[in-house]
Structure 1
Amino acid sequence: MATPTTPAHPRISEVASCKIAFTAFQALWIPGTTRICAIGSDDAGFGIIQIQALTSASTKPATSATATASPAQPRLVHQAETEKKVQFKCGTFRASARSSTLPHLLTGDFDGHVSLWDMSRTEFPVSNFKAHEDIVSCMDGAGSVTGRPEFVTGCNDGTVRLWDMRQDHKAAVKGGAPSPISDMSPKKGQAGHDVWCVAMGSGPGADDLMIVSGHDNGDVRVMDLRMGRSVFETNIKHGVCAVEFDKRQGKAGSLVATTLEGALHSFDLLNGQFTTSDSTTEEVITVRSGDVSTLWQARHVPQRPDIFAVTDGGGTVHMYRHGDERSLITSLGSHQLATEGVLSLDFNEDLEGLFVGCDLDNTLRVGMVHF
């Protein structure tokens, strides 16, 4: 099968948008659907889980006079909303296996709890436990890669922990809380730097998993779970807002990290592995400077892992491509999506180029990258 080609400058267009009455820290596609789950908090300090559906149903039915219906315009339709006492900071569907017919949502909140939610009934969580002593600031899952319901959480106290949803279930049955299957906490007596972002990726072997964490002091750390040790550590000088491996299936070829000060860092992997920290190839480019320089998010297109998007504090989406040598980054252009910073961006796993973002203007925006 021929490899899809990418135009020099893919075009980005807005498909639909809608205002929301709360600040969404993340907007995620519900796997296997064109429904969106937005997670965040309102001005009163309550946590919100909202579900919107992207629909193209015509808003004006055909009449005998017009003979045909008006053209279908995609729009977002509010379907459900849940309000809780604790503010939500992050969430993921990636702990569920990709083949799951009913993926569950995991959320992390400001009180350090992790909750599991059934999307068909969000009145009460399926389970809930205390994962950290401070805000659960970020999380990611490996179920969509390995089929095992494992996920990682990062906290403002500097801890990074790996969990298994099966242990969560066993603990809930016994009336207790699960223990992490791996705890990457600061050494005793040392203050931990806030963990702002985490991601999971595949290593060189079929069952190998890597965890990368980004910290407020610029630290980037990669842990190989099979070897049980750190395989890469560096400091990129400024707070790390986002980290992501290029592939979730198969051997990762690169790792990208973005910062508060508008810098995009790309690290080269050899055969799915990091070489030593001193010899790993790194490329750094300045994406944005000034008051809107913060690069909030970096996300790869699932169907084209050599292509990724970066969002900034001015509402712009920047597109890039990893070069043949993987260490080279080529700009594919940019698009002004919003007037405020785009905090989150998520690509649809089934429809190539379709993405959803949420911004500081309290707006959900669905867009399309046209390759």
Structure 2
Amino acid sequence: MSTPLEKPQIIAHIQKSLNYTIFDSKWIPCSAKFVCMGNFARGTGVIQIYEIQRGEVQLLKEIEKAKPIKCGTFGATSLQQRHLATGDFDGNLHVWNLEAAEVPVYSVKAHKEIVNSIDGVGGLGIGEGAPEIVTGSRDGTVKVWDTRQKDTPVANMEPVEGEAKRDCWTVAFGNAFNEQDRCVCAGYDNGDIKLFDLRNMSVRWEKNIKNGVCCVEFDRKDINMNKLVATSLEGKFHVFDLRTLHPTKGFASVSEKAHKSTVWQVRHLPQNREIFMTAGGAGNLHLWKYEYPAQRCKKDAEGVDMGVAGTVNLLQNVTLSSQPIASLDWSPDKQGLCVCTAFDQSVRVLIVTKLNRV
């Protein structure tokens, strides 16, 4: 356990007000730069590139697009290219070379409605296998794209016939630890979580957590599935231990009432997957550490293996805004550096201290 002297501090290092609604923000890998994405009041989309210079953020470039931009990822690009993949309000998936962003390097009408969430894997040297992008939409579908194939997704997870169409709010890649295996987790507005096995094109596991699922994230994409955090509308998050799947009980989990309102985001610290941050609808951030149990697996009454959930400890929390924090991204390069945006139209660069002492 941490002593009070070793508690991490969450410091708002830089704050900047912007003139548009910001939906997402991401660090540009191997740089002191980040991108903000959103929409202007006039209904167009915007991508802005910022750089940290001497304790300030400087706007390097502003790119206006026809449709509001909801989400973005660098996860399927190479470190040399650092192309940004975005999903917009019109259902489009675009991949941009930020050095020359007039025309996308890849473009597809991915969904009939807004792309709510996007993730990438196989790029940046993270995860085995082909670079792929997953998109989740209000139209109820989850699609996986390989940008080397022009117009058709390599996988399309739709509601089965007769099943109600649910709004997919969040998607994430995981289990990309070899050339063959890969999973996508998706969360829906009715509380459903579905884990799709892309190797077998099947649903590997599903669970309903009773409230809309705002965000899902594996603790790491490039390892044999270990943990998954899912956040929800009612201020709760759930940590699932993914090492042991029981045939009837599923994965063991621990849930925590984290915020007084919606938990919009969860992001694991790239340098330590047991530490993660949740972002809340009341403008607050909570920093957590997951503690493993003494044994992660035990036998049930019939002698079948079942998982054992660990515990979560709150390391620190801070209130930054009166508005929801809609996006959060840790720097992959500098431990404790973080960018977040809120619906107060502000972007904040945060420093979290003492993370190597907890």
TM-score after normalising by structure 2: 0.89
CA–CA distance in structure 1, aligned partners of residues 4 and 69 of structure 2: 37
Q: Is the 8 A contact 2:281 2:323 kept in 1?
A: yes
**Structure 1 outlier segments of 4+, above 6 Å:** none
Is 1:308 the equivalent of 2:270? no
Alpha-carbon shift at residue 102 of structure 1 (Å): 2.0
Distance in 2 separating the partners of 1:268 and 1:202: 13
Q: 1:101, CA displacement in angstroms? A: 1.4
- Equivalent position to 1:249, from 218, 222, 228: 222
How many residue pairs get matched? 334
Is 1:89 the counterpart of 2:70? The answer is yes
> Which residue of 1 is the match for residue 130 of structure 2?
148
Aligned counterpart, 2:148: 166
Change in CA separation of 1:95 and 1:275 when aligned onto 2, cut-off 3 Å: farther
Instruction: Return the offset for 1:7.
Output: 7.6
Does residue 1:122 correspond to 2:113, yes or no?
no
Match among 245, 253, 256 for residue 285 of structure 1: 256
Measure how far apart 1:365 and its partner are. Answer: 0.3
Q: Structure 1 residues 123 and 44 mapped into 2: Cα distance closer, same or farther (>3 Å)? A: same
Q: Which 5+ residue runs of structure 1 have no aligned equivalent?
A: 57-73, 172-177
State the SS of the aligned residue for 1:166. Answer: coil
Aligned to 1:48: 46
1:299 to 267, 277, 281: 267
Q: Indicate whether 1:107 and 2:90 are aligned.
A: no
1:12 aligns with 2:10: yes
Q: Deviations over 1:39-82 (max 9, x none)?
A: 110111110111111111xxxxxxxxxxxxxxxxx111011111
2:239 counterpart residue number:
266
Secondary structure class of the residue paired with 2:153:
coil
Are residues 93 and 321 of structure 1, via their aligned partners in 2, closer, same or farther at CA, if it must alter by over 3 Å? same
Q: Secondary structure at the match of 1:146?
A: coil
2:132–2:147: 8 Å Cα contact kept in structure 1?
yes
Give the partner amino acid of 1:20.
L
CA RMSD after TM alignment:
1.8
Alignment-derived partner of residue 64 in structure 1: none
- Residue 90 to residue 7, structure 1, CA distance change in 2 (3 Å): farther
- Mean alpha-carbon deviation: is it higher for 329-338 or for 114-123? 329-338
Q: TM-score w.r.t. structure 1 length?
A: 0.86
Write the letter of the residue equivalent to 2:286: H
- Structure 1: distance between partners of 2:130 and 2:251: 30
Task: Assess if the C-alpha contact under 8 Å between 1:232 and 1:276 holds in 2.
Answer: no
Q: Which amino acid aligns with 1:92?
A: T
Report the Cα offset of residue 252 of structure 1: 3.1
Residue in 1 that maps onto 2:296: none
| Maintained 8 Å contact 2:72/2:84 | yes
Q: Distance in 1 between matches of 2:190 and 2:322?
A: 28
